[in-house]
């Protein structure tokens, strides 16, 4: 089963939370220049700790965090005031985005033909672009690829051995990909951290 935890991170006390995260996250957070970026970074790991009960992850060659024992799979993302953490018993990827005006104009540049066609045919092309973007980014995280591979696959015609789902949280869109035949319903758990 795949669960997605979400939290509003806009009110995080940066100094207080620095002592609650792993040394690696603390170091990464301190290198960030903007306080909003620091809050999102800290919030993502705090959600992981709350969801999985641990923070002993390591980084892959593409800097994807994972637990070395492969008993629990997770993915982290953040955007605006929110951080999300997907936890699953299979490899998983998650992304969260806020649709932006004009986003659909980028479809030809980043999407395959079948995906771009969906964007241009949609009642709300910017929202459809954002929906597909979150699904593509979630696949990249699930498969441990780099963002430069974004046109090498289609979420419309399917990515081998994966299933996709998208959910809304207010205006935000959350895309999830899992290495399973049927991801099922995304269970969103609103957390206070």
DSSP assignment of 31-93? H--SHHHHHHHHHHHHHHHHHHS----EE-TT--EE-TT-SSEEEEEEETTEEEEEEESS-EE
Residues in the chain, pLDDT under 50: none
Q: Please tell me the predicted confidence (pLDDT) of residue 186.
A: 66
**168 C-beta neighbours (distance < 10 Å), count:** 11
- DSSP-assigned letter for residue 147: G
Pick the CATH number of 3-190 from 3.40.640.10, 3.20.20.10, 3.50.50.100, 3.90.470.20: 3.90.470.20
Return d(Cα 134, Cα 175) in angstroms, integer: 5
- DSSP-assigned letter for residue 139: H
Q: Please tell me the predicted confidence (pLDDT) of residue 12.
A: 94
Q: Measuring CA to CA, which residue among 100, 98, 94 is closest to residue 189?
A: 94
Helix 35-52 × helix 23-31 angle, to 10°? 160
């Amino acid at each position: 089963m795949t669960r997605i935890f979400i939290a509003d991170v806009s009110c995080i006390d940066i100094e207080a939370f620095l002592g609650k995260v792993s040394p690696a996250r603390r170091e990464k957070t301190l290198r960030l220049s903007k306080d909003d970026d620091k809050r999102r970074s800290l919030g993502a790991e705090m959600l992981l700790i709350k969801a999985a009960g641990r923070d002993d992850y390591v980084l892959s060659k593409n800097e994807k965090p994972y637990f070395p024992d492969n008993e629990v799979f997770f993915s982290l993302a953040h955007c605006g005031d929110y951080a999300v953490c997907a936890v699953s018993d299979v490899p998983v990827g998650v992304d969260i985005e806020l649709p932006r005006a004009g986003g659909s104009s980028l479809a030809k540049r980043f999407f395959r033909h079948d995906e771009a066609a969906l964007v241009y045919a949609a009642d709300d092309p910017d929202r459809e672009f954002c929906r597909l973007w979150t699904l593509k980014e979630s696949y990249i995280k699930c498969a441990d690829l780099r963002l430069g591979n974004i046109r090498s696959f289609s979420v419309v015609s399917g990515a081998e051995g994966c299933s996709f789902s998208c959910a809304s949280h207010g205006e935000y869109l959350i895309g999830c990909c899992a290495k399973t035949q049927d991801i099922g319903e995304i269970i969103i758990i609103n957390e206070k951290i």
